[in-house]
Amino acid sequence: MLRRIFMCLSIFLFTSAILTGSIVCKADATTGAPALSDSEKAYVETAGTLKVGYVQDRIPVSFSDRNGELSGISRYIFDRIQEISGLTFEYVPLPAGAVTYDYLMSEGLNLVTSVEYNRENLGAKGIMMSDPYLSSRKVFVARRDLTFSYDANLSVAVSSGSQTIKKVLHETYPNYSIVDYPSIEDCFSAVNSGKTDLMIMNQYVVEYWLYKPSYENLKVIPILDTDDLLCFSAVVPFDENGNPASSDGDTLISILNKSIAQMTDEELDSFTIQAIMENRYSFTPLDFLYRYRYALVILSAAFLLIVALVVLLLRQRLQSVEAKADARAKSRFLSTMSHEVRTPLNGLIGLNYLMAHKLHDEEQLARYLHQSTTTANYLLALVNDILDMSMLHNGDFKIEHKPMDLRLLLATVETIVQNGMKEKNILFQTDISLPYANIIGDEVRIQQILLNLLDNAKKFTPEGGKVTVSACQTLEENRKILTEIHVSDTGKGMSKAFQDNIFDAFAQERDTVSKGDEGVGLGLSICHRLAKLMDGDISFVSQPNKGSTFTFFFPAEPADTPAAEKATAFVPPQDKPCILIAEDNELNGEIMLELLSENEYDAKLAVNGREALDLFSSSECGTYGVILMDLLMPEMDGFEATAAIRALDRPDAKTVKILACSANCTVEDQKKAFACGMDDFLAKPIDIDVLLGKLTV
């Protein structure tokens, strides 16, 4: 948005400069220009329709519109010349690249428009130049990180049709090397990709192209004392002695000059401004995809989540068909999940439809993308809850027993939730007393329980309410430490009917202050089961209209030494490894390549395990530092490919880091991944920050 505002301001200042006379479109405009002579009038009557050649890609100066007709500033001027002089014109697009005199003669062209008015063209054989009708500036275009110097050895991209500017560059900047490109857009792409340091072009044309989102990293460098004067040139046939075959060229140039002289500065200014405003750069679908590439990645991840949900639902269905009680549980589960999945899915489909019809409304697009991100995050939370429930139900869930600092954990939780409390104008207080903060426990799951309890407290507490966290510890006779953490709120409380079923899966209190934001109803059920696995429990006290207090308590062994503090930020490695991506889904592969490229990693894509094995085995030793390995692929899956790579007789086969990347996140899949030689496991949708933190050799 800031870039578009800046570009609009540039056009405003630029057109203002025209109106105030800082950009002069002709040297001596006068309404008292001489009338046509008799010979000139006779020429107009007998000349017929003159063929005019024009360059096709100089928007807004001269270009072909959607109907293949000449458009831009030059067309407005020709139409006015036709009114003044009575001449008629036919417009013929010139081919890309240098246009020779022989070509102009063979095609029967009488005039060429938008020709640079300089000494090289004035002295050229076979053409006669009119007075200039338009003046702007030549400018350089460079990447924003380029340090510009007139004396440096820089490369300059030049459109193939701009022959005379090469001579100017050689004379003015002798250290610069010139590289030809077929079109202006090719010149922009060369600078943007780093193939050349600079490009040179008329300022009007540059202003048009810099609206393109993929050129947002480019800047304009003014060139002092380099006006871009444009005029018409008449194509004059010569006899065998090298003299003009007739005086028609002189007559035509005289008519053009008199016509230009009759145009006022105000007319020429209006032609320029109108052409600029009517021909501003229009977004293409590719431009839209580039500008919103990260949001589209989120949407793609949301659809992957939906696929994962379907798989989990089918799995849950197969496990719930043995008895009537299980059948009723299955029916309830499917009914609830159908609602919880279809509602956000309906929102995503609707948002995609709206975005497809609002491509040019940036404000609406931004709002729709924000809503899509929120919906995708909801689906991700839903998948995580279902995975936890599935593992808890099947007995696959394992509690970690590692040294941890409970005081540090509570400080982290406080940091996470306090902004949300402030946004809802809720007073958030803590009362922490932890004499035995260093304990043995599962830091991740304790934090999960506390965040869930605090999220519920915030959700069901109205603005102006209060949420309090208190914690205390006692040392029991068996030398274990009993920790009690209380989460209290001043919300609406819970009804007696809901309290009886509060820890059931999908249990929800619908009549609350958070109506419309209840969640899926799995959080408390999961937290209750996690507390039980820690040999603890969750209890509660609640009164309608007075609030609720949840107490999470658990025993733990004391830690012999304080837990080490974890790093809070990812520091990229100095030497980034080359990465091999094994991914059979084309869209996922392209997204991963783009994301890694954005973070300055070199990456190569293999579409299956067999290709990944071949690429690695045929590469020089040490080429790849990390392999991102999908598990389910055709020809050879990720497990087989990993085992085959580890078995290769080369040193890097044993040391290359292989990370499993899969939507299959069960304990069995993770055990199998580690067993075949993988170093780590990343669940899809992949958290980019987590991935970057693991890309070290």
Q: Do 402-556 and 579-694 agree at the fold level?
A: no
Do the Cβ atoms of 680 and 694 come closer than 8 Å? yes
Neighbours of 47 (CB within 10 A): 16
Can you give the pLDDT at residue 367? 75
The pLDDT of residue 98 is: 66
Spatial separation of the C-alpha atoms in residues 269 and 279, rounded to whole Å: 16
Choose among 81, 86, 75: nearest CA to 113.
75
| Diameter of the chain measured on Cα atoms | 122
Q: What DSSP element (H or E) covers 680?
A: strand 680-683
According to CATH, the topology of domain 579-694 is: Rossmann fold (3.40.50)
Q: What angle do CA 155, 157, 163 make, to 5 degrees?
A: 115
Q: What is the DSSP string of 394-407?
A: HT------EEEEHH
CB atoms within 10 A of CB 464: 10
Tokens representing 242 are 């090298």
Note the pLDDT of residue 522: 67
Q: What is the pLDDT of residue 283?
A: 67
- Residue given tokens 């890097």 in the structure block: 652
Q: Give the pair of three-digit tokens for residue 135.
A: 């003046």
Q: Measuring CA to CA, how many Å separate 376 from each of 176, 305, 663?
A: 51, 8, 15
d(CA 371, CA 348): 9
Residue count (the chain): 697
Tell me the fold of 25-282: D-Maltodextrin-Binding Protein; domain 2 (3.40.190)
Pairing relation of β-strands 62-64 and 57-58?
Answer: antiparallel
70 sits in which H/E element: strand 70-71
Query: What is the per-residue pLDDT for 618?
Result: 93
DSSP class of residue 558?
B
The pTM assigned to this predicted structure is 0.40
Candidates 695, 487, 505, 478; CA nearest to 595 is 695
Residues with Cβ within 8 Å of residue 686, at least 6 apart in sequence: 592, 661
290 CB contacts (<8 Å, ≥6 apart)? 213, 214
Buried b / exposed e over 223-237, threshold 16 CB at 10 Å, is: beeebbbbbbbbbbe
Q: Tell me whether residue 187 is exposed, middle or buried, using C-beta atoms within 10 angstroms of its C-beta: 0 to 12, 13 to 18, 19 or more.
A: buried
Percentage helix, strand, coil, to 5, in the chain? Answer: 45, 20, 35
402-556, CATH topology level: Heat Shock Protein 90 (3.30.565)
295: Cβ contacts below 8 Å, ≥ 6 apart: 369, 372, 373
pLDDT, one tens digit per residue, over 659-687 is 998 877 666 788 888 999 999 988 877 77
CA nearest 569: which of 679, 682, 690? 690
Weakly modelled stretches of the chain, pLDDT under 70: 1-33, 97-98, 161-164, 224-227, 241-242, 283, 287-289, 291-292, 316-348, 350-351, 353, 370-371, 373-397, 497, 501, 503-522, 561-575, 665-667, 696-697
Residues 6+ apart with CB under 8 A from 39: 251
How confident is the model at residue 643, as a pLDDT? Answer: 94
Question: Angle at the Cα of 676 (from 674 to 681), degrees rounded to 5?
Answer: 35
For 645, half-sphere exposure in the C-beta direction (CA atoms, 13 angstrom radius) is 35
Nearest alpha carbon to residue 53 among 1, 106, 8, 16: 106
**Residue 479: what pLDDT?**
84
Domain borders along the chain are 25-282, 286-394, 402-556, 579-694
Return phi, psi of residue 555, to 5°: -90, 155
- The predicted pLDDT at position 566 comes to 47
Instruction: Please list the alpha-helical segments (H only) found in 500-550.
Output: 523-533
Structure tokens at 115: 């020709």
Q: Return the pLDDT at 58.
A: 83
